[in-house]
């Protein structure tokens, strides 16, 4: 079975531009997570979905960030407008179930650089 | 709120040395505990887990025991290899969310 697939692997954009990151979770997984990783703040949970419904978006830094999950096999994280401080690696993860017996499976991440 | 604290890195060891990476947590209730590993340029991979007190998770020679009395989940390996060089993350899961510690970088020298 294919793992979590993220695209693009790398994104370089100029400040003010719109950025869209994409994620395809593992088939059959009902939880999807977006994390951001930086040297300063480590791994931060931005938002997570259960059955395509956002459950907790308290980690979304500000209104410039939005995430959607239109169906069970696709999610997007959008930043509009982007700023240099958004530069980070963004990870998508999915799991089957939301309890402790259900580990998260991570994609390889999208490295975003905003100049 | 719930949180995880790991020992700071980087940790540098010689091959075949004994490894301990400390992890403590703060949480109400009974979270499940995990160790994830991240190799350069890759996403996180599950290394081991424990879902209740006194459980021992193990994988690839790594072990960790869920100690509720000390709220700890320390990672150990008896003999590290160069290929174990990576960043290790302790995490807890409760109510759907997975909360990570700050990560500990391990470097193993031949």
Averaged pLDDT of chain A: 94
Question: Which pLDDT value is given to residue B83?
Answer: 95
Model confidence pLDDT, tens digit, residues B52-88: 999 999 999 999 999 999 999 999 999 999 999 999 9
Token pair 């100049």 is found at: A115
Model confidence pLDDT, tens digit, residues B4-62: 999 888 999 999 999 999 999 999 888 999 999 999 888 899 999 999 999 999 999 99
Residue numbers in B near A103 (CB within 8 A)? 34, 46, 49
Residue numbers in B near A93 (CB within 8 A)? 43-44, 98
Q: Which H or E element spans position A62?
A: none
Residue numbers in B near A91 (CB within 8 A)? 43-44
Q: A32 to chain B nearest CA, in Å?
A: 10
pLDDT at position A66 over 70: yes
CB-based contact B96 A4, cutoff 8 Å: no
Say how many CA atoms lie within 13 Å of B13 toward its Cβ: 23
* Ranges A47-56, A70-79, B87-96: which has the least confidence: B87-96
Residue B90 φ/ψ, nearest 5 degrees: -90, 145
Q: How many degrees, rounded to 5, is the angle at CA B21 between CA A46 and CA B95? A: 35
A52 part of contact set with chain B, CB < 8 Å: no
CB-based contact A109 B43, cutoff 8 Å: yes
Percent of chain A residues topping a pLDDT of 90: 87
pLDDT at position A100 over 80: no
CB-based contact A103 B46, cutoff 8 Å: yes
pLDDT at position A1 over 80: no
CA A44 – CA B108 distance, rounded (Å)? 27
Average pLDDT over residues A72-76: 97
- Residue spans of beta strands (DSSP E) within chain B: 3-6, 11-14, 19-21, 23-26, 32-38, 44-50, 56-59, 62-65, 75-77, 86-94, 97-100, 104-109
pLDDT at position B95 over 80: no
């Amino acid at each position: 079975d294919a793992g979590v697939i993220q695209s693009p692997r790398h994104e370089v954009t100029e400040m003010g531009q719109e950025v869209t990151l994409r994620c395809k979770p593992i088939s059959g997984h009902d939880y999807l997570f977006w994390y951001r990783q930086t040297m300063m703040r480590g791994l931060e949970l931005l938002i997570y979905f259960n059955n395509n419904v956002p459950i907790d978006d308290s980690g979304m830094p500000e209104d410039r960030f939005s995430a959607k999950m239109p169906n069970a096999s696709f999610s997007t994280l959008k930043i509009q407008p982007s700023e240099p401080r958004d530069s980070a690696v963004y990870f998508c993860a999915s799991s089957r179930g939301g309890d402790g017996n259900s580990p998260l499976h991570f994609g390889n991440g999208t490295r975003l650089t905003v100049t | 709120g719930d949180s995880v604290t790991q020992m700071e890195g980087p940790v540098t060891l010689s091959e075949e040395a004994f490894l301990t990476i400390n992890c403590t947590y703060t949480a109400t209730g009974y979270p499940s505990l995990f160790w994830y590993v991240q190799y350069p340029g890759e996403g996180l991979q599950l290394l081991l887990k424990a879902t209740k007190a006194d459980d021992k998770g193990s994988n690839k020679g790594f072990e960790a025991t869920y100690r509720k009395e000390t709220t700890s989940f320390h990672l150990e390996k008896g003999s590290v290899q160069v290929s174990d060089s990576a960043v290790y993350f302790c995490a807890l899961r409760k109510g759907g969310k997975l909360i990570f510690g700050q990560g500990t970088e391990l470097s193993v020298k031949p």
